Amino acid sequence: MIRNLPRRPLAAAAVVARGLGSMAAAPPAPADQPALEHCVLDLDTGCQTCYGEFSAAFAAASDGQITDAPDNPKAASQDSGLQGLREETLRLMSDSGASSRVVVGTFFKDKNYGGGSLTLFGPEPGRDDQDWVAS
């Protein structure tokens, strides 16, 4: 029996479930516009914004620090594209002066980095003694 679960994973799971659920409930985009299936969620304010491309969503989540994220994460998972993105994100997280916010994590709707995505960002990397609570 599990008695105590860490609050951060539970809060993150609730945020992800809510975010991915709202992506499914979004109305379809007009034919001349791409579907807005890549969303970013500010863990401080609870504000969610969606984009047509993963690269645009990740640029917004990283406060413009990372503008070369792959447009197709599933295809990039077959080469070094996602590994490079991970390394750049970790570098920015360790450089506290680089940005006023950091990417906390990205969740994908489908397995193997497919479908829509939800990228969470906050004011600083999570620490063992801090919890983010999204309402």
Going residue by residue through the chain, which has 135 residues, state the pLDDT in tens, using 9 for 90 and above.
Answer: 333 334 444 455 555 555 555 555 555 556 666 689 999 999 989 999 999 999 999 999 988 888 888 888 888 888 777 788 888 877 776 765 555 678 888 999 999 889 999 999 987 665 544 554 444
Decide if 57 contacts 39 (C-beta within 8 A): yes
Q: Indicate the pTM of the whole model.
A: 0.65
pLDDT in the model for residue 117:
95
**Of the candidates 134, 121, 116, 128, which has an alpha carbon nearest to the alpha carbon of residue 40?**
121
* Alpha carbon 38 to chain centroid, angstroms: 8
Decide if 15 contacts 7 (C-beta within 8 A): no
* Identity of the residue numbered 70: P
Question: 29: which 2 tokens?
Answer: 């985009």
pLDDT in the model for residue 87:
84
pLDDT in the model for residue 2:
37
Q: How many CA atoms lie within 13 A of 15 on its CB side?
A: 31
pLDDT in the model for residue 60:
92
Backbone φ and ψ for 42, nearest 5 degrees, come out as -80, 115
